Chain A
Amino acid sequence: MTKLSALLLAAAGAATLAAAPATAQQKAPLTILRVIDADRYDPIRSTATAAAEVLYMLADTLVTVDFDMKTIKPGLAESWTISPDGKTYTFKIRKDVKFCDGRPMTVEDAVYSLKRWVDPANKSPVSFRGGQVKDIRAEGDSTLIYELNEPYSDLMFQMALSFASIVDKNAVESMGQNFGVQGFNGTGPYCWVKWTPRQELVLKKNPHYTWGPSIYKDPKPQVDDIVWKIIPETNTLMAAIQAKQADVTYYMPYIALDTMQKIPGFTVQRQENYIYDVFMGFRVDKPVANDKAIRQAANMATNKEAISKAIFFGKGQTLPSLLNPAVLDYDKSSGDKMPKYDPAGAAKLLDEAGWKPGADGIREKDGQKASFTVYGIRNSDNPRISEAMQADLRKVGIDMKIQLWDATVAWGKLATQEFDAFLMSYPYVTATEALNLYFASRQVPTPNRMNWKDTKTDELLKAAATATDDTTRKQAIGAVQNQLTEANVWVPLVSQPLWVVATDRVEGARAHGLYGAGLYKGLDIKLKR
């Protein structure tokens, strides 16, 4: 089988190579392959990771996150201080920064961009990430004051996300709704050249850029041109990389990674600290899903280890807890409380809870079948993950109906009250961010699709979000992790790995992964030829 796949790969590669014989001989732009495009590239208007991965190259943020995904490092802000009450952040802004059009960036640009992000009038879907803002203002020519109504322990990590990118006020106002569609002007290492939706986005080096974050060896971009190319079909993407028609991707199908590692001329690297988790959430106010015994049995009956190995071909990491153990403020004790794989125990639990097997093998209680419907996005992994879960749950007498939707309608369907459970994957940087996003009662019905409304949870989440010291925050968010784990609101499944595959033309590419952005700023990358 391995021989056959190697032969097929080689044939596909040769065929594609033959179609473009001259490409490999020329000094070509750095071509990055991905499977999906964003709807737009305005930082405050798109939540898509496909937008973020390009925006990090087009624009900068006040602070950055190191490769460990835990340490905040300077970005456009050289330094910062936080007031003892945790409400006032004072950033010292660099003075040597220029936009792509050559205009020097001022502190007023930073104030404008951050206000634009959090201003309710702009109806940004990510404005909540900026906290309860009282005022954002400039003091002098290099100081930015970010004042909050209440402390917000997650603010620095949120400031590092692409939503808080600093953009050129003039460009935004002149382009209006077309900003990030027809053009862009930022202070990132690369500048906007041309976007052909669902085909490619072309960038060129920002000639002024010397202020790259210290997480990179070289603060200047080394590549003249970058093309982000869309290839929706992963087999074609794989063949294109194999034929060296493109240079780098982190959308390589997991099944191909072992083969790619064996082929000379390619480097394959993994970001160990990448956080992009897959889980199934229960809607706790729906019949069947509202029974804790069902939820716990689902957690016990699902063979997460097998799913991780079979669906992600050994490249995934089983999630042993509600949150990823690599995340900031992960609570280990909550992980210990997560039910372990035990189908026999699950069946016993259901028996004790009064769910008795029916004639068709599906359990029943008070005339109600142990059946629930799961919604999700029809991507490359969800069908296989959900089918594996479905078979596992069927073994203990739970009927899980699967309804996966095309991405174009899925988000609309996931905002309805039609389903009993849902399958989702998401990136996050801190435990406080993840749980505030999904479990605060103010977030019902979306993204709190569980309809989880609990006063204690809300209090603890607020305590964690407004904590001014690490200990208080950890305790509060740890308590939420324990509470939610005991309630079995989620079936945590797998942490999706980030693997960057590059050809031997590329050196210095290092996997980052902040909010799904595998190459982050793209610095240190050089082309050999």
Chain B
Amino acid sequence: MSSVTDQIDSATGAADAAVVAAASAPRRKSAFRMLFSDVGACIALVLVVLAILAAAFAPWLAPTDPYGNDLANTLKAPGEVGLLGTDGQGRDMITRLLFGLRTTLLMGLASVTFGCLTGGVIGFAAAYYPSLSGILMRMMDVLLSFPAILFGLAIAAIFGPGLTAVIIALSIATVPLMARVVRGSALVVLQQGYIEAARSLGLSDLRIILRYVLPNCLSAMFVFVTLRFGQVILLGAALSFLGLGAQPPAAELGAMAADGRNFLFFAPHVSVLPSLVIFAVVLAFNVLGDALRDALDPKLRK
């Protein structure tokens, strides 16, 4: 019986795959073409790749120890000591920016991953099982009513300030957003005939979701993740700016901007440089997310 189902499934899957391939082969090509024809998107992509590479290779790229201080050389202007000067502890700004970027991107990655995985599961469950939809989505509505900053404050008050608190707060704040996006996309997919066919063939719910629903929701999810990444970085930096994020001596861009605000008139680079990096990274993710959305939208491609 099992082998028969597998054969049918395999056949259906192959047929579907063929249909999808036939339909999507030219589409994928045009989507990439559309993405790369957008100069802004290309610049954003390059910035994102550079940021990821800089963060990944920070220990090898950094010219000095990120945690070693030099109190004799504090608040030196760019060019005076090091290319971008030093901070309030006399640490090289390039080094701190590289490690700060690393922490910020890791924070964003962790938050988006946990938030999106959980939100995705909830979204699929809510779409696939109408009986669960009401309670799950009302819970998501409740979560949506709390701003991420408030989550951060509450979690930092319970567990103490730190990167973990920020990641938990941002993950929770991401869950309802992802759940809504996934549920919306999945509901559309679930109306399709091939889902009806798969059900009539006796495929398990999990198999239907993983094999047919998920792949057809991926483009919407991918766009959301890209856009959310930029938002999460900004929110994380804001929480760190308030002292709830990474604790010393860890470098984090929001915390670095906060550290420099006491010297804004005298050593503006300490605050301005990390702020500029946050600006550039968030902008890059947002532009890329927008471009991806346009590229993957069949109506716009027409």
Q: Which residues of A contact B (CB under 8 A)?
A: 1, 4-5, 8-9, 12, 234-235, 238, 253, 255-256, 259, 303, 306-307, 309-311, 378, 380, 383-384, 386-388, 390-392, 394-395, 401-406, 409
Contacts and interface: CB of A to CB of B under 8 A. Distances in A.
A5 B265 CA distance: 5
Contacts of A4: 77, 268
B109 to A, nearest CB: 24
A4 B77 CA distance: 10
Nearest to A409: B157
Contacts of A409: 157
Contacts of A405: 161
B91 to A, nearest CB: 9
Given A378-B243, A387-B249, A404-B243, 5 more contacts: A235-B261, A256-B265, A388-B69, A388-B89, A409-B157
A383 B265 contact: no
B74 A310 contact: yes
Interface string B257-296: 0010111111110000000000000000000000000000
B72 A384 contact: no
Contacts of A401: 247
A384 B160 contact: no
Contact of B71 (A8, A309, A404): A309
Classify chain B's interface size: 20 to 34
Interface string B75-113: 111001000000011100000000000000000000000
B67 interface: yes
A434 to B, nearest CB: 28
7 contacts: A1-B267, A5-B266, A5-B267, A234-B262, A235-B264, A311-B71, A391-B68
B26 interface: no
Q: 5 closest A-B pairs (Cβ-Cβ)?
A: A310-B71, A391-B69, A306-B71, A5-B266, A1-B77
A1 B80 contact: yes
B248 interface: yes
A235 B161 contact: no
Nearest to B258: A383
B88 A235 contact: no
B243 A390 contact: no
Contacts of B247: 401-404
Contacts of A383: 248, 259
Contacts of A384: 88-89, 259
B262 A380 contact: yes
Greatest chain B CB density within 10 A among A238, A303, A306, A384 is at A384
Contacts of A406: 243
A280 B191 CA distance: 66
Contacts of B263: 255
Interface in B114-145: none
B89 A387 contact: yes
A309 B88 CA distance: 12
B261 A8 contact: no
Nearest to A11: B265
B292 to A, nearest CB: 39
Contacts of B267: 1, 5
Greatest chain B CB density within 10 A among A235, A392, A395, A409 is at A235
Contacts of B264: 8, 235
A76 to B, nearest CB: 41
A390 B248 contact: yes
B241 to A, nearest CB: 12
A186 to B, nearest CB: 36
B67 A8 contact: no
A255 B262 contact: yes
B243 A9 contact: no
B205 to A, nearest CB: 46
A390 B249 contact: yes
A378 B160 CA distance: 13
Contact of B262 (A235, A259, A306): A235
Nearest to B267: A1
A391 B89 contact: yes
Contacts of B88: 310, 384
Contacts of A259: 266
Contacts of A391: 67-69, 89, 249
A253 B72 contact: no
Contacts of B90: 310
A306 B68 CA distance: 14
Contacts of A255: 75, 262-263, 266
Contacts of A235: 261-262, 264-265
A40 to B, nearest CB: 24
Contacts of A303: 71
A408 to B, nearest CB: 10
B229 to A, nearest CB: 28
A8 B77 CA distance: 15
Contacts of B248: 383, 386-387, 390, 402
Greatest chain B CB density within 10 A among A9, A238, A255 is at A255
Interface in B156-179: 157, 160-161
B80 A387 contact: no
A259 B161 CA distance: 35
Nearest to A233: B261
Nearest to B255: A383
A438 B127 CA distance: 62
Contact of B265 (A12, A309, A311): A12
A306 B67 CA distance: 17
B204 to A, nearest CB: 48
B44 to A, nearest CB: 32
